[in-house]
Amino acid sequence: STDYGSTYERMNDKVGSKTVLSYLYICPTNKRKIMVLTDPEFESSVLVSSDEGASFQKYRLSFYILSLLFHPTQEDWALAYSHDQKLYSSMDFGRKWQLVHEHVTPSRFYWSVSGLDKELDLVHMEAHTPDGNVQYVTCRAQMCTESNRNYPFPGYVDISSLVVQDDYMFIQVPTSGRAKYYVSYKRDPFLQIKLPKYSLPKDLHIVSTDEKQVFAAVQEWNQNDTYNLYLSDTRGIYFTLAMENVKTTRGIGGNQMLDLYETASVFLLGVAQLTVLCPCLGITDTASIISLSADDA
């Protein structure tokens, strides 16, 4: 649809009736540019359009794409993650693809952040070593030989812990005792995150980093279906408790979900699916809308 949903045209009519499509990706810097993946059960191809889907060019692939990630500023650059955990890059809008790295963790790869990384084509990723450990690796998208790779954190990290977001980078370190989390602010060396001494976290999720501080959800050792919410200083090192015992819900596959909605620097905790038990703020009602801002904390 090009008229905000008033009318629709079948994309299959433009790419061939026998072509089975799976996912569509729109370039964030040029909405006219679209990449569409074919269903890997039938073929491995990518279809590209530079005119909002009016016409497509089809390119065969030697691998099956599981997900795509456009560059935040360069409209022709994209990363592709394959079914066999390989990461590829294209700098010409999907025409040619080059292997970046093998054994990459799903959803743990990121393009460079403008103003922080020196090279626009830098890729941040979490990769597995031959002996089964996990490392944080950076390299340029089309120059990722072993000699050109860098390891910003000196040691192994926990799987699926790397987050590169705005001014911050986060990782978790494998340990047999209390979980240890590290943060890098504006690409400075990693420092250990400092939660209050009484906090014994077993799980930590980064909720937001776009207000010059970190908003995080932490599950303590004695919590099963609730999280505590914390706010940090500007560098993301020191955290203060903002709200306790926020109820989670079960999503598809049994994953825990925490409903948070941001509106003008205020977070709203979901109405129907949330129970808030927070005597410290005088709130004990079920199914109430709770707003939280940095000033409240």
- Mean pLDDT, all residues of the chain: 85
Q: Model pTM?
A: 0.84
Residue 50: band (very low, low, confident or very high) from pLDDT cuts 50, 70, 90: very high
pLDDT digits (tens, 9 = 90+) for 174-201: 887 778 999 999 999 999 999 998 898 9
Weakest mean pLDDT among 49-63, 174-188, 210-224, 263-277: 263-277
Q: Are strands 191-192 and 180-185 parallel, antiparallel or unpaired?
A: antiparallel
pLDDT digits (tens, 9 = 90+) for 220-233: 989 888 999 999 99
Indicate whether 11 pLDDT > 80.
Answer: no
Contacts of 104 by beta carbon, 8 Å cutoff, 6+ apart = 81, 85, 86, 87, 125, 126, 127, 128
Indicate whether 285 pLDDT > 60.
Answer: no
